[in-house]
Amino acid sequence: MKKIILTTLCCLFITCAYGQTQDDSLLTEKRRFHLAQFTTFGGQVIPNVNVGWESYGKLNEKKDNVVLITHYFSGNSHAAGKYHPSDKQAGYWDALIGPGKAIDTNRFYVLSVDSLVNLSANNPNVITTGPASINPTTGKPYGLDFPVVTIGDFVNVQKALLESLGISSLYAVVGPSMGSMQAIEWAATYPSWVGRMIAVIPAAQSDAWTTAALEQWAMPIRLDANWNEGNYYEQTPPTEGLTAALMLITQQALSPAFFNQQGDSLAYSPLEAGPLEDIRQSHSIVNWLYQRAKSRAGQMDANHLLYLVRACQLFVAGHQGSLQNGLKNIQAKTLFIPAQSDLLLMPYMAELSHGLLQAQGNNTHIAPLEGQSGHLEGLLNIQEKAKTIRQFLENE
């Protein structure tokens, strides 16, 4: 289980297409979607937008069997399958998506899209437009000249891609964490498109607590002298600030039970000799967390993390100023799957949205995950709700 968790945290996945290998894994490829220009929620125009996307299963003749998967903060469009049969790791929700699985690719055409300002901008399997992209006006990376983007902008890029494929409705939209924000935004902003919505480890808005917590992810980068107000692309990047941010994200995404178990495997002790004898030394559990965060930092971009943080901080379903107003337009049947041990997007957030929808007469359901993996329950143990998800997608 520990090895699986660490691999998932590395977020080095990605896939698209259909077909099966001898080990029954889907095979897929990354495709590119291009928009000549895109206008953000804030009214700014971004030229030459590119995002990657993947798909699994076949689009039927009526084009009404589409399930959109929206990814989490540090993830990308590699939701299931493999690029090559020899790949060691399949997409992050491979336990959920595939032939005969809860999201059955024998029935559904499953599609996923890399977000704008994707965190893993340096990953060769990710296609995204953001601060690290070249500004055609200057011929240099945008840096902080890149416009602020919102969760709604991520959704609108996805909608443009779907429309380019002749798709005009979604059988369902499903996503974990930041992906749940996108799923809820789809249902709130384009209610006639969405028949079913599943929000895993979810939040329908960034409340005061969440906004303040997210700011802590940004601060280490801003405090790194190499950040240089975002102008680091031709010099040393703020790797230490990015690493510190990733350490914080990783710890908040897990649980005390996981860390204490990891501490036992490292023979952690409060009175370790190194930190006792030298203030510059760190405890074994801190070194473990640092090394794993630093190993991920190379494929990620610090400015992209700041923009993702801001997109999440600005989120309220429907982008209409209040959660109540945003949820009023939802017509979809909804399912919320919070994690009871989640310290990041805590269960009360799902319960609030479910309660508001229930009060206005919507067909809404809630089914908590009860494991001890914290926020990552929604990625690592989603198979615990496979039957619930299958039934939700099957029933009218």
- Give the model confidence (pLDDT) of 87-97 as tens digits: 999 999 999 99
- What percent of the chain has a predicted confidence (pLDDT) above 70? 93
Helix 151-164 to helix 178-189 angle (10° resolution) is 70
Q: How far apart are CA 103 and CA 95, in angstroms?
A: 9
Average pLDDT over residues 369-395: 95
> In which band, very low, low, confident or very high, does the pLDDT at 173 lie, cut at 50, 70 and 90?
very high
pLDDT at 58 over 50: yes
Rounded CA separation 238/286 (Å): 20
CB 87 within 8 A of CB 375: no
CA angle 212, 158, 55 (to 5 degrees): 115
What is residue 102's predicted lDDT score, i.e. its pLDDT? 98
Q: Answer whether residue 81 shows pLDDT above 50.
A: yes
Model confidence pLDDT, tens digit, residues 272-283: 999 999 999 999
Phi, psi (deg, nearest 5) at residue 52: -90, 155
Hey, what domains does the chain have and what are their CATH numbers? Answer: 2-205+316-394 (3.40.50.1820)
Cross-strand bridge partners of residue 53: 31, 113
Q: Are 104 and 58 in contact (CB under 8 A)?
A: no
> Active site includes 353?
no
Question: Left (φ > 0), alpha (ψ -120 to 50) or beta: where does 63 sit?
Answer: left
> At CA 74, angle to CA 231 and CA 44, rounded to 5?
50
Q: What angle do CA 384, 389, 393 make, to 5 degrees?
A: 165
Catalytic residue among 94, 224, 301, 342: 342
Radius of gyration (C-alpha) of the chain in whole angstroms: 20
| Predicted local distance difference test score (pLDDT) of residue 21 | 37
Is the pTM higher than 0.85?
yes
Q: Is the pLDDT of residue 375 over 90?
A: yes
Q: Tell me what pLDDT residue 24 has.
A: 58
pLDDT band at 395 (very low <50, low <70, confident <90, very high): confident
- Count CB-CB contacts under 10 A for residue 340: 13
Cα–Cα distance, 122 to 127 (Å, whole number):
9
State which amino acid sits at residue 238. Answer: P
Using an 8 Å Cβ cutoff, are 57 and 28 in contact? no
Pairwise CA distance, residues 99 & 21, whole Å: 12
Q: One of 74, 112, 177, 341 is an active-site residue; which one?
A: 177
Give the three-state DSSP class for 173: strand
pLDDT band at 207 (very low <50, low <70, confident <90, very high): very high
All residues at 6 or more sequence positions from 174 whose CB lies less than 8 Å from its CB, including other chains: 67, 68, 69, 70, 103, 183, 197, 198, 200, 389
Mean pLDDT of 352-374: 96
Q: Which pLDDT tens digit goes with each residue over 239-298?
A: 999 999 999 999 999 999 999 999 999 999 999 999 999 999 999 999 999 999 999 999
CB 217, CB 344: distance < 8 Å:
no
Q: Are 366 and 336 within 8 A, CB to CB?
A: yes
Tokens describing residue 348: 């009360």
* pLDDT value for 15: 30
Average pLDDT, the chain: 93
Q: Does pLDDT of 5 surpass 50?
A: no
Report which residue type is found at 108. F
Residue 396's pLDDT is 64
Report residue 112 as tokens. 């996923």
Asked if 188 and 329 count as a contact pair (C-beta separation under 8 A), the reply is: yes
Question: Looking at 71, 78, 354, 375, which residue is catalytic?
Answer: 375
177 is catalytic: yes
- The better pLDDT of the pair 26, 7 is held by 26
Give per-residue pLDDT as tens, 298-325. Answer: 999 999 999 999 999 999 999 988 999 9
Residues 53, 55, 61, CA angle at the centre, nearest 5°?
125
Would you place residue 64 in the very low, low, confident or very high pLDDT band (cuts 50, 70, 90)? very high
